[in-house]
Structure 1
């Protein structure tokens, strides 16, 4: 039965603990499952452990003097817990790091070329570019401009495009809405949902903007102080009074800034 469940998940993260400098325990027994073709959100406040969870999956902990001290991570049924980051990319895991990191001195088209895997044919690369431009028409319009002069939203689109050109099976996005206007967040999240639906791409989305994330994902995990404190379907999480009050800006008729928000403790921290 366990093997059947794992076969349905592209990613299985089981009881993971992460240590920094062999002292600081950043995440504590985190378990996350991403079913194939689904969109899953990791929600929580700043510093809760969301980004560390993504880095554990993509293999980027070592660069920050972090390591997995307990648990296992399986991707497509293969244990990748100790695997090098580059090998994980080759397997189909792509991690879009927070901050819209693109080559600012290159054009969007050159950025996409630079991100393509070694050995990808020119015909395949051109086909992938056209697919990306169809999802992001703004990039098509600006593909020969210098990337450093793109707007924040356009740079985020380019960062996602650079990930897509690698033909990933699992796309991990770290705070794609950060610093963007609400209409841009809605546009980009809508495109991510479209890609998921049309290509069956599995997505793991880290977001502080819980309201926007829960509109497009099927399930969510709430992380606080390095632990998963809640997991459920997106609709159930949106209806939960604690989620509404502490993450969606009000619940039970309460405004986010009113006194009740501060006086009521989160039940899972009691």
Structure 2
């Protein structure tokens, strides 16, 4: 793990997802009993093919299922010991949980600074907001360099950094990221993960990410869960998951980003289902 603290492994979980099921339109069972923990200050990945239930799990945690006609129909989700299921998404943010959705979704007509300010409605201390902006620009120097440009003119990597930086303006205890490496070059992926290491180390922010780039994710996190067909089929230390021969064959692809079309047709015996 290198820079990421390993002390978190023995800490009480900041997030506990206990045997949840998620149903869409009262018909389609998308998540079929997922359980996972994220330790205080921990860094955890959810891995798996498209459609496995990873993004749905994040939306169940952040409370963003309702607009998609989804609902948690079984189990519980506890954050810092408090059940989240009765809380709306803004209340979950106020507790210290923030979700960066796939696709960046920055305010393209605003500058990076204005994007950051837009996330501070919960902060009444103007001096405190300035300090948060300064801290974010320190973590993301590319954004400081482009502070006066319209966000729509930023590169894909810079927009991803802005989406993450905007989420960090809420001062979260847990940062959830959905596909932060999507569409980015390997160098930009490395840069973003290096920044997340710094955020984790300096601010103690726990990280839960969904990622199809399994090789990059397993080099970044300290714990990982493999989701298959709506279920967690493997979980443990990142090194242990990475060493599993079936994970190597199906998800690591010799160290390159996974070809999930090939994974879909993977027919070898999978030890995690044995």
Q: What range describes the TM-score normalised by the shorter chain of this pair?
A: over 0.9
- CA drift of 1:262 comes to 4.2
Q: What per-residue deviation string (whole Å, max 9, x for no partner) do you get for residues 29-69 of structure 1?
A: 00010000010000011111000000000000011000000
Aligned residues: 262
Q: Does 1:80 align with 2:84?
A: yes
- CA drift of 1:81 comes to 1.6
Q: Distance in 1 between matches of 2:142 and 2:56?
A: 31
Judged with a 3 Å threshold, the aligned counterparts in structure 2 of structure 1 residues 257 and 97 are, in CA distance, closer, same or farther, namely: closer
Q: Distance in 1 between matches of 2:120 and 2:45?
A: 27
* Uncovered stretches (5+) of structure 1, i.e. residues with no partner: none
* Uncovered stretches (5+) of structure 2, i.e. residues with no partner: 1-8
Q: Which residue of 2 aligns with 1:48?
A: 52
Q: Distance in 1 between matches of 2:250 and 2:123?
A: 48
- CA drift of 1:199 comes to 1.2
Q: Distance in 2 between matches of 1:241 and 1:99?
A: 32
TM-score (structure 2 length as normaliser): 0.91
Q: Does 1:161 align with 2:173?
A: no
Equivalent position SS for 1:143: coil
Of 199, 202, 206 in structure 1, the residue corresponding to residue 206 of structure 2 is 202
Q: Does 1:173 align with 2:177?
A: yes
Of 185, 191, 206 in structure 2, the residue corresponding to residue 187 of structure 1 is 191
Q: What per-residue deviation string (whole Å, max 9, x for no partner) do you get for residues 240-265 of structure 1?
A: 101111110049xxx9999xx84524
Q: Which residue of 1 aligns with 2:143?
A: 139
Q: What per-residue deviation string (whole Å, max 9, x for no partner) do you get for residues 199-252 of structure 1?
A: 11111011011110111111000001000000010111111101111110049x
Q: Which residue of 2 aligns with 1:68?
A: 72
CA contact (8 A) 2:50 2:260 kept: no
CA RMSD of the aligned region, Å?
2.2
Q: Distance in 2 between matches of 1:263 and 1:80?
A: 38
Q: Distance in 2 between matches of 1:98 and 1:88?
A: 19
Equivalent position SS for 1:249: helix
**Structure 1 stretches of at least 4 aligned residues deviating more than 2 Å after TM superposition:** 117-120, 255-258, 265-270
Of 237, 246, 265 in structure 2, the residue corresponding to residue 242 of structure 1 is 246
Q: Which residue of 1 aligns with 2:220?
A: 216
